[in-house]
């Protein structure tokens, strides 16, 4: 019984697995580039989940077709809102990734490392030097 539900909902199961991989990567990696990759994996999991939930087998694209009696059949279409949300999310995700990579590049130029712990230590050392000077 449990395996039947997994085979039917395999897209959702893959989305949950991808989300776990991305979250684990985000929490355990010290390299900022790897953290950004983990965030992108989590984004992909959300898009896969939305696309899987928005698709209904046997239904057509949401292009209005008039039936024999002149009334459109709304129940025969796939809901277009999840596809629109996925498309918007991808655009936002690309923008956030570009911004995060540009900030990472600036931090690397300023501190010479991509390790988040090293960056924090060097920031504290720089602040202590600046406060100690008259």
- Tell me the domain boundaries of the chain: 2-60+74-132
pLDDT at 111: 93
pLDDT at 131: 86
pLDDT at 8: 73
pTM reported for the whole predicted model: 0.79
Compute the distance between CA of residue 39 and CA of residue 103 in angstroms, rounded to an integer. 15
The alpha-helical segments, DSSP class H, found in 1-134 are 2-8, 10-28, 32-54, 81-111, 116-132
pLDDT at 18: 95
CATH, range 2-60+74-132: 1.10.287.3510
Per DSSP, the three-state class of 115 is strand
Compute the distance between CA of residue 47 and CA of residue 56 in angstroms, rounded to an integer. 16
Contact 119, 111 (CB under 8 A): yes
pLDDT at 56: 73
- DSSP letter at 72 equals B
pLDDT at 124: 93
Residue with tokens 């090293």: 118
pLDDT digit string (tens) for the chain, length 134 residues: 455 655 677 888 899 999 999 999 999 999 999 999 999 999 999 999 998 888 777 776 666 666 666 666 666 677 788 888 899 999 999 999 999 999 999 999 999 999 999 999 999 999 999 887 65
Which of these, 76, 82, 79, lies nearest to 51 by C-alpha position? 82
């Amino acid at each position: 019984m449990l395996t039947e539900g997994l085979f039917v909902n395999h897209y959702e199961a893959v989305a949950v697995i991808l989300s776990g991989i991305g979250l684990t990567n985000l929490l355990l990696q010290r390299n900022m580039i790897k953290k950004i990759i983990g965030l992108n994996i989590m984004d992909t999991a959300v898009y896969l989940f939305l696309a899987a939930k928005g698709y209904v087998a046997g239904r057509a694209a949401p292009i209005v077709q008039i039936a024999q009696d002149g009334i459109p059949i709304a129940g025969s279409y796939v809901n277009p809102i999840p596809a629109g949300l996925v498309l918007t999310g991808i655009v936002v995700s690309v923008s956030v990734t570009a911004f995060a990579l540009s900030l990472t590049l600036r931090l690397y130029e300023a501190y010479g490392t991509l390790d988040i712990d090293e960056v924090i230590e060097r920031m504290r050392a720089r602040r202590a030097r600046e406060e100690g000077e008259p």
